[in-house]
Copies of this chain bind each other. A is one copy, B any other.
């Protein structure tokens, strides 16, 4: 039973079926196909706003291309110190932007705030010696498994607007955040000031499909050239687009995310009830950071459960669209059994 990440999961059956269904006859290459056009229209409906949509295959590509479009090579992107763009992309945003700086800010529970950003701005704007403030990037859901509320996003959005910064969201787990908040997509994006969204699907059931969504089409002018020269323009684009289309059909994205979040909640609740176990962050999406006694960690690994050790006594558990309730039960039973060996089951 593998709780390492939501990317150890496979493909949601509906998405696999869509790949097979799309495999009929010839289709124009490089995004000139019908599925890609339909996808853009569908996302415009979902977000209740005109959008420019660019499918890519990885979250790193989505973030790095989005940010490269948003900031100059001497730009500064304010984000959380643990953000994927800082820690987990081997410098992709720096590479695609030509040297921009990811200014990672430490903050509790993976969330930076407008209050924290405000004193950093305007941050040497116009002074030639300094890299220039250019963007704010939030991660939604965060790397700590928490979510930004609409008002929190809007506060940073207002600040970004006032200082002329582009406002980006890394939404690798956007669906998990959305269902966690019970919000409408518009509320936590353009209505809160978001300019560009990296809209993830891979972690929530796609094989490899993300979309970069611009709420201001004018900002997207360069994107196509950047995507192409980044090697991210797929010739057989339909097979990216139909993944996303299936993802958005019949609320698959929301159903998958609800399931993953429910599994995480159940796991967190069960663990938190045990003595000597402490949740490090609120569990608001599908990731759990929890501190356990070292002997218990070893016990669980010995039992064949897979997960990552974080720092010190903390481990990370991630649930996915396909996490079996029985796996959660088994994990909790193993933990309980270790802590209360004499209790009746």
Residues of A within 8 A of B (CB): 2, 4-5, 7-11, 16, 19-20, 22-30, 56-62, 64-65, 72-74, 87-92, 94-96, 98-102, 128-132, 202-203, 207-208, 222, 224-236, 239-240, 306
Contacts and interface: CB of A to CB of B under 8 A. Distances in A.
B20 A16 contact: yes
A31 to B, nearest CB: 9
B16 A130 contact: no
A8 B26 contact: yes
A230 B61 CA distance: 7
Contact of A10 (B11, B24, B62): B24
Given A90-B225, A91-B99, 13 more contacts: A4-B29, A8-B27, A11-B236, A58-B233, A60-B229, A64-B231, A74-B91, A74-B95, A89-B231, A91-B229, A99-B229, A202-B236, A230-B231
Given A7-B29, A29-B4, A95-B73, A90 B228 contact: yes
A24 B9 CA distance: 9
Contacts of A5: 29, 235
14 contacts: A2-B26, A4-B29, A10-B236, A20-B20, A57-B234, A59-B235, A61-B230, A62-B231, A73-B229, A95-B229, A101-B101, A128-B224, A207-B236, A231-B232
Contact of A57 (B19, B57, B60): B57
Overall SS of chain A's interface: loop
A214 to B, nearest CB: 16
Nearest to A31: B128
A72 B88 CA distance: 17
Given A22-B10, A208-B236, A228 B99 contact: no
A88 B306 CA distance: 44
A90 B129 contact: yes
A71 to B, nearest CB: 11
Contacts of A74: 90-91, 95, 225-226, 229
Nearest to A92: B229
A229 B89 contact: yes
Contact of A89 (B95, B129, B224): B129
B24 A92 contact: no
Contact of A208 (B90, B224, B234, B306): B234
A4 B235 CA distance: 12
A9 B101 CA distance: 32
A18 B9 CA distance: 16
B128 A225 contact: yes
Contacts of A239: 11, 207-208
Given A90-B229, A94-B99, A235-B202, A28 B11 contact: no
A231 B10 contact: no
A64 B95 CA distance: 14
A72 B222 contact: yes
Q: Which 9 A-B pairs have the closest CB atoms?
A: A61-B231, A94-B99, A7-B235, A2-B26, A60-B231, A90-B229, A90-B228, A8-B26, A10-B23
Contacts of A19: 11, 16, 19, 207
A90 B102 CA distance: 14
